[in-house]
């Protein structure tokens, strides 16, 4: 099985069922498959290799066009990668070079262009020699992907300038989709909502669940909580998928109940009991699931609403088929749902521990641990303490270099109401040791996010 075959199957069986709902249009399964079949230009096909797979980086701001090009490149026998459309040009060039991407397929102002990427080793010199001996232009030979059994590439989800490309087979996601769809209530009649680019692996994974089930995906292309709520109400959304930072923002706009929502999914960050309770109030028929996962490994652990209330600093218990344990404070995972070339077991250098009830407590990345004179401080612990304060809606804590004093913690806080820094520090003194108190507290109206839904740490640190 593959994703193009799934689209073809539902183009026949559910031809008029909405495949994708956007603000200004709806695309049925039949129309989507027709678009995929007619997308790849003949001159592009001539440049694609015939006897091996190369990688094609797709750059488009239009989310439907991202998926259209993704499936069309896959159908053409190559390996598609949906790129971050907001990457600076220099970072894009480094991404192509570092990851040996064969082609870049870019859309600007509604026009697609196929640009040459990296060639096979030695081919550049050979083409120069051929040009010198003939009047014909030597054919470009794109770099061969190391993992020829892969069907797609995904980008690392970190905040580094140059993302890493990782390759997946269909089975590496497809093998777990039946379980995740059962748990997430994604069946043939589901209407699933998400926001943002499909270069964010979480969104692409949810799309894979949708096309597997043959249901409908509603996508917002802009960060607008009011628009999200309009879509949820108008299209009777049943499954809501947003990262916790976006769910926390959404809670500030909730004023009435949305009974159609049966499931709320959140991952990548801790959700917290306070946010969970508010979501449950306005989505009363919903089940809430928080998961811990990674682009490299898929789903690792998950927990329910009731478990979030009991253990707000936990990311749950291992999902079926995945083993998780802790060694020397580092979380280790052994999973069959990993990207190609990643040895198992492995660690992503996340830190944590299991509590007495067997729930994984997440302490953050190694880089989020501040070593202050030998005393280790968890930024995640400080965030949890801040979020437990009644007036605090959201908090992000980051390490920063304090000239001459080593690393300190800076807290960026959104409050719903009037609270001073002094009052906030008084609350924190009841929850944290003196060494754990953040050196800087900055109040904000919103936490800046990048197009992948991740906290834009650079923009926050620039405020210091």
- 451 and 391 within one domain: yes
- Is 217 part of any domain? no
**Are 436 and 401 members of one domain?**
yes
Q: pLDDT at position 50, please?
A: 94
Name 300's Cβ contacts closer than 8 Å, sequence gap at least 6: 291, 292, 293, 294, 315, 318, 319, 322, 324, 333, 335
d(CA 183, CA 340): 26
Q: CA 36 → CA 5, 40, 71, 76, 152, distances in Å?
A: 11, 8, 6, 10, 16
Within its chain, how far is the Cα of 57 from the centroid?
17
First CA to last CA distance, the chain? 51
Q: Is residue 118 part of a domain?
A: yes
User: Tell me, what's the pLDDT at 393?
Assistant: 87
Of the residues 365, 385, 413, the one at which a domain ends: 365
Question: What pLDDT, on a 0 to 100 scale, did the predictor assign at position 15?
Answer: 95
Provide the token pair at 2: 């593959």
On whether both 13 and 29 belong to a single domain, the answer is yes
Same domain for 246 and 348, yes or no, is yes
369: which 2 tokens? 């641990």
Q: Are 354 and 377 members of one domain?
A: no
pLDDT tens track, the chain, 464 positions: 899 999 999 999 999 999 999 988 999 999 999 999 999 999 999 999 999 999 999 999 999 999 999 999 999 999 999 998 888 888 889 999 999 999 999 999 999 999 999 998 865 545 544 555 554 556 899 999 999 999 999 998 655 567 899 999 999 999 999 999 999 999 999 999 999 999 999 999 999 999 999 999 999 999 899 999 999 999 999 999 998 888 988 998 999 999 999 999 998 677 777 888 999 999 999 999 999 999 999 999 999 999 988 888 889 999 999 999 999 999 999 999 999 999 999 999 999 999 999 999 988 787 778 877 678 888 988 998 998 898 898 899 999 887 766 788 999 999 987 889 999 999 999 999 998 999 999 999 988 887 666 788 889 999 98
Q: Please report the beta strands in 89-190, taking only residues with DSSP state E, as ranges in sequence order.
A: 103-108, 111-116, 152-155, 165-168
Same domain membership, residue 268 and residue 415: no
Q: Is 297 inside a domain boundary?
A: yes
Q: Show which of 147, 168, 189 is a domain's final residue.
A: 168
Is 381 within a domain? yes
Report the CATH number that the domain containing residue 19 is assigned in CATH.
3.40.50.980
308 and 330 together in one domain: yes
- Tokens 């923009």 label which residue? 459
> DSSP for 137-165?
PPPP-BPPPS-TT--EEEE--SS-SSPPE
Provide the 3-class DSSP secondary structure of residue 210.
Answer: helix
Same domain, 161 and 284: no
Residue 375, pLDDT score: 80
**Residue at which a domain ends, from 152, 168, 184:** 168
pLDDT at 228: 97
Residue 349 belongs to some domain of the structure: yes
Tell me, yes or no, whether 22 and 133 share the same domain.
yes
Residue 192 lies in a domain: no
- Assess whether 356 and 435 both reside in one domain: no
Residue 216 domain flag = no
Residues 404 and 337 in one domain: no
CA distance 151 to 201: 15
Task: Write down the pLDDT at residue 402.
Answer: 78
Query: What is the number of structural domains in the chain?
Result: 3
Residue-number span of the structural domain to which 282 is assigned: 242-365
């Amino acid at each position: 099985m593959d994703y193009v075959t799934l689209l073809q199957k539902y183009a026949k069986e559910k031809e008029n069922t909405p495949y994708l709902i956007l603000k200004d249009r709806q695309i049925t399964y039949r129309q989507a498959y027709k678009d995929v079949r007619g997308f790849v230009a003949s001159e592009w096909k001539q440049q694609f290799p015939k006897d091996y797979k190369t990688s094609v980086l797709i750059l488009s701001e239009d989310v439907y066009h991202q998926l259209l090009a993704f499936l069309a490149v896959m159908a053409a026998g190559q390996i598609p990668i949906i790129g971050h459309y907001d990457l600076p040009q220099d970072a894009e060039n480094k991404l192509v070079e570092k990851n040996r991407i064969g082609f870049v397929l870019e859309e600007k102002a509604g026009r697609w262009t196929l640009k040459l990427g990296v060639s096979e080793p030695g081919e550049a010199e050979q083409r120069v020699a051929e040009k010198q001996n003939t009047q014909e232009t030597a054919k470009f030979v794109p770099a061969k992907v190391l993992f020829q059994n892969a069907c797609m590439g995904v980008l690392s989800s970190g905040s580094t300038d140059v993302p890493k490309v990782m390759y997946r087979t269909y089975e590496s996601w497809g093998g777990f989709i039946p379980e995740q769809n059962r748990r997430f209530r994604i069946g043939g009649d589901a209407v699933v909502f998400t926001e943002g680019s499909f270069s964010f692996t979480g969104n692409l994974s949810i799309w894979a669940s949708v096309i597997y089930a043959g249901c409908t995906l509603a996508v917002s292309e802009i960060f607008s909580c009011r628009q999200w709520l309009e879509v949820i109400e108008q299209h009777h959304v049943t499954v809501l998928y947003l990262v916790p930072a976006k769910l926390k923002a959404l809670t500030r706009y909730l004023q009435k109940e949305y009974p159609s929502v049966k499931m709320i999914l959140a991952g990548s960050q801790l959700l917290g009991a306070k946010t969970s309770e508010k979501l449950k109030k306005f989505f009363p028929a919903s089940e809430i699931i928080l998961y811990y996962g990674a682009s490299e490994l898929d789903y690792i652990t998950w927990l329910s609403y009731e478990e979030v209330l009991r253990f707000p600093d936990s990311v749950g218990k291992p999902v079926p088929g995945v083993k998780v344990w802790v060694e020397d404070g580092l979380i280790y995972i052994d999973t069959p749902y990993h990207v190609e070339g990643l040895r198992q077991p492995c660690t992503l250098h996340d830190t944590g521990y299991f509590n007495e009830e067997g729930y994984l407590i997440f302490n953050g990345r190694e880089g989020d641990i501040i070593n202050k004179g030998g005393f280790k401080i968890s930024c995640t612990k400080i965030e949890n303490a801040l979020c437990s304060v009644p007036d605090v809606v959201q908090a992000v804590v980051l390490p920063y270099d304090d000239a001459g004093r080593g690393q300190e913690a800076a807290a960026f806080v959104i409050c719903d109401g009037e609270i001073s820094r002094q009052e906030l520090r008084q609350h924190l003194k009841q929850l944290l040791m003196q060494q754990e108190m953040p050196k800087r507290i900055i109040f904000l109206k919103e936490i800046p996010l990048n197009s992948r839904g991740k906290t834009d740490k650079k923009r926050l640190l620039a405020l210091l």
